[in-house]
Amino acid sequence: MHRLWIGSALIVGLIAIGIGSYLFFFSSGSGSLPDGVTRGGQSIASLETTNAAGRPEKTFALTAEEKEWTIEEKERVEAWTYNGTVPGQELRVEQGDFVQVDVTNNLDVPVTIHWHGVNLANNMDGVPGLTQDAVQPGESFTYKFVAEDAGTYWYHSHQHSSRQVDKGLYGPLVVEDPEENEDYEVEETLMLDEWPVHQAKDGPASRQGMMESRRSGDGEADTKDLYDTFTVNGKAGEAIDPLEMEQGETARLRLVNAGFQQHQLAFPEGSAEVIAVDGEATSSNDASADIVEIAPGERIDVAYTKQDQTPVFLGEPGNKEKARDMRIPVLPEGTSRSEAAMASPETETTARGADQSTDTVLFDQVPDPDVSYTMDLSMGMDMGGGGMSFQINGRTFPDTPPIHVQDGDIVKVEIENNGSMNHPMHLHGHDFQIQSQDGTALDQPSVKDLVHVKPGESYTIYFEANNKGEWLFHCHDNNHAELGMSTIVDYDSVYSPYDFGGDAENHPS
C-alpha cells in the first residue's frame, strides 16, 4: 500500500517535471534560447534585408484565416488557410524580382511564414522565437526578399508547424527563369499532403506507432496512424483535378510534399524525367524515373510526356493502404476518369528512382572543413509523456547541441539515422552539397536543402556558412521536430533578440 503510493507519487512527479520543462521552454518569457547558442555582437533583427534597388517588385497579400475546406464530397475539414484555400495562392515571380508579402493574421493563434528553400536574410525566415516574434491575431507582418534562384519553392507557417502545416497553412512559390527556353505544353504545381479526416489526430506520435515501426520497418509507421486521407492540392479521390494532356505533350510537374509522410508517384515506363530537386536543375545523367519518391518537405520537378491517347492515373504504387486517394488522372480530350481506372500504369514495377545529381555543384572537390559536426538521429521514450521523443545527439530541442559557425566557414555534417523512422532533414538559409551516402562518395554530388535519411543510412553533407544568422536544421516530418528533432546553425557573430515562449507564444517547431 505504502510502496504503491510512493510509486505513484514518483510517476506523478516525473510527469510534472516533463510537462514543467516543456512549459518552461515554450511559455516562459525568460530569454530561453537553447543553452550553448552564443550571443554575438549583432542582433539578427538589424541584419540588412535585401533592398528593392531597381528590381521589378512583386507584392502579395496573404491572410491567415479559418475556412471549412472540402477535400472531397462529404469530406470537410476545419482548415487554417492562407487566403481561404488549401494550398494557399500560388505565388509566381521571376528570378531577380524583389518580393514583398504582407501577412495578416485573422486566426486566433499566432502564425508566421517560412519561405522554404529560399536563401534570404535571416530576419525574414519566419521562425518564431528565433528570427521574429510570431504574428499575433489581428496583426500583420511584411516579408521581403529577392528571388535569387529560379525553381520550385513553398511557404508555410513555422509557428507550431506540426499543427499549423497539418491544418493547411502552406502554399507554393514558383520562381521562373526568364531565360529558360524549354517549353512545356502543360505546367502544374502538385502539393501532396495527408489529413486526419475521419479521426482526431491524437498527439504527434503515439506509443503504438513506435511499437509498429519496429515491425513494419518502412520508417513511416508512426505517421501512418495519424492520417486517413491523402490529398493533391487539397483534394482527394474524385475531387483531384485532372491533367488535360494530348499525345506528345510534355508537362512540367512541380511536386511539393507538404505532408509528413513520403509519397511515391508511378509513371508509365519511360514517360518521366526528374528535371529538378529542391529547386536545382538535375544533371541529365540518368534522370528517367518510373517511380518518383518525394520526402516530406522536398520538391521534385518532373517532365512527363504523354505517350499516347490512353487516359491513365499517376498514382501511388500498389499496396498502400490509402493509395486510392493519391491518384492524378491524366485525361486526353474525350476520355474520362472511369476509363483511366482501367488503364492505370503498372504499379508493381520495381521502383527505379532517378539519380538526384545536380547541374551545379557548390564544391568541385571534397572541401576541407572548418567545422565538423556529427548528427546522430535517434528516438526514445519521452520523459513522462508516454510518447516518443526524437533526438539529435541524444538530446531533444532546444537542448540539442547547436552547430557553431563563423562567417565563411566550410561546414561538414555527417548525419546518421540510428532509429527506425525516416528523417527528412532540412536546413534553412543555405544549400548544401550531398557528397557521400553510407560512406561511399556519390559519383556526382547533389545540391539540395533537404536530405532524406532513412533508418540505418548516413550522409555526409557540406555547406558554406555564407548567410549570417540563427538558422534551424530540423526533421521535416514536423511531428518529429515537435518531439525534439531540431537544432540551430548558430553564427558566432550574431544573436537572436527573440525568445521561445514569452508573450508572443513563440513555438518554433
- Chain contacts with Cu ion (rule: CB under 5 A): 423, 475, 477, 480
Largest Cα span, the chain: 80
149 contact partners, CB below 8 Å, separation of at least 6: 95, 119, 175, 279
Separation between Cα atoms, residue 59 and residue 67, nearest integer Å: 24
- Considering only 171, 297, 387, 445, the residue that binds ligand C2O (CB under 6 A) is 297
Q: How far is the CB of 80 from Cu ion (least distance, A)?
A: 23
Is 156 a binder of ligand C2O (CB under 6 A)?
yes
Separation between Cα atoms, residue 185 and residue 248, nearest integer Å: 10
Is 167 a binder of ligand C2O (CB under 6 A)?
no
Nearest in space to 476 (alpha carbons), one of 497, 449, 437: 449
- Residue closer to ligand C2O (CB basis): 163 or 306: 163
- Residue closer to ligand C2O (CB basis): 164 or 420: 164
Please state, as a whole number, how many other Cβ atoms lie within 10 Å of the Cβ of residue 207.
Answer: 15
- Residue closer to ligand C2O (CB basis): 233 or 478: 478
Q: Which stretch binds ligand C2O (CB under 6 A): 309-317, 345-353, 383-391, 472-480?
A: 472-480
Are 346 and 270 in contact, with CB atoms under 8 Å apart?
no
- Considering only 44, 69, 79, 114, the residue that binds ligand C2O (CB under 6 A) is 114
Strand partners, 222: none
Work out whether strand 57-72 and strand 98-105 pair parallel, antiparallel, or are unpaired.
parallel
Q: Which does 480 bind (CB under 5 to 8 A by kind): Cu ion, ligand C2O, none?
A: Cu ion
Q: How far is the CB of 296 from ligand C2O (least distance, A)?
A: 9
Residue at shortest CB range from ligand C2O? 116
Are 79 and 68 in contact, with CB atoms under 8 Å apart?
yes
Q: How far is the CB of 428 from ligand C2O (least distance, A)?
A: 6
> Which grid cell sits at 287?
534522370
**C-alpha distance from residue 343 to each of 16, 336, 456 (Å):** 57, 11, 38
125 contact partners, CB below 8 Å, separation of at least 6: 114, 115, 131, 132, 158, 428, 429, 469, 471
Q: Which does 144 bind (CB under 5 to 8 A by kind): ligand C2O, Cu ion, none?
A: none
The separation between the first and the last C-alpha atoms of the chain, rounded to the nearest angstrom, is 42
- Residue closer to ligand C2O (CB basis): 156 or 224: 156
**Count of residues of this chain found to bind ligand C2O when the rule CB under 6 A is applied:** 10
- Residue closer to ligand C2O (CB basis): 114 or 423: 114
Q: How far is the CB of 337 from Cu ion (least distance, A)?
A: 35
- Residue closer to ligand C2O (CB basis): 428 or 507: 428
Q: Which does 116 bind (CB under 5 to 8 A by kind): Cu ion, ligand C2O, none?
A: ligand C2O
Q: How far is the CB of 155 from ligand C2O (least distance, A)?
A: 9
Q: What is the per-residue binding string for ligand C2O in 253-292, x denoting contact by CB under 6 A?
A: ----------------------------------------
Separation between Cα atoms, residue 102 and residue 147, nearest integer Å: 16
- Considering only 60, 116, 153, 469, the residue that binds ligand C2O (CB under 6 A) is 116
- Considering only 144, 158, 263, 468, the residue that binds ligand C2O (CB under 6 A) is 158
- Residue closer to ligand C2O (CB basis): 114 or 412: 114
Q: How far is the CB of 452 from ligand C2O (least distance, A)?
A: 14
**C-alpha distance from residue 84 to each of 4, 68, 76, 161, 198 (Å):** 54, 9, 14, 18, 22
Q: How far is the CB of 59 from Cu ion (least distance, A)?
A: 36
Is 452 a binder of ligand C2O (CB under 6 A)?
no
Q: Which stretch binds ligand C2O (CB under 6 A): 99-107, 237-245, 327-335, 469-477?
A: 469-477
Q: What is the per-residue binding string for ligand C2O in 422-441, x denoting contact by CB under 6 A?
A: ----x-x-------------
SS3 category, 324: helix
Ranges within 327-366 binding ligand C2O (CB under 6 A): none
CA atoms within 13 A on the CB side of 235: 13
- Residue closer to ligand C2O (CB basis): 26 or 267: 26
**Burial group, residue 367, by CB count within 10 angstroms (0-12, 13-18, 19+):** middle
Separation between Cα atoms, residue 135 and residue 32, nearest integer Å: 19
Residue carrying the nine cell digits 508579402:
101
Residue carrying the nine cell digits 501511388:
316
Is 474 a binder of ligand C2O (CB under 6 A)?
yes
Q: Which stretch binds ligand C2O (CB under 6 A): 236-244, 303-311, 318-326, 470-478?
A: 470-478
- Residue closer to ligand C2O (CB basis): 110 or 297: 297
Nearest in space to 452 (alpha carbons), one of 418, 423, 475: 423
Q: Which stretch binds ligand C2O (CB under 6 A): 66-74, 143-151, 222-230, 471-479?
A: 471-479
Is 472 a binder of ligand C2O (CB under 6 A)?
yes
426 contact partners, CB below 8 Å, separation of at least 6: 116, 297, 449, 450, 473, 474, 475, 476
Cα 240 to its chain centre, rounded Å, is 22
Residue carrying the nine cell digits 535569387:
148
Is 412 a binder of ligand C2O (CB under 6 A)?
no
DSSP 248: T
Full 3-state SS string of 384-397: CCCCEEEEECCECC
- Residue closer to Cu ion (CB basis): 261 or 271: 261
Using CB under 6 A as the criterion, which residues of the chain lie in contact with ligand C2O when the complex forms?
A: 114, 116, 156, 158, 297, 426, 428, 472, 474, 476
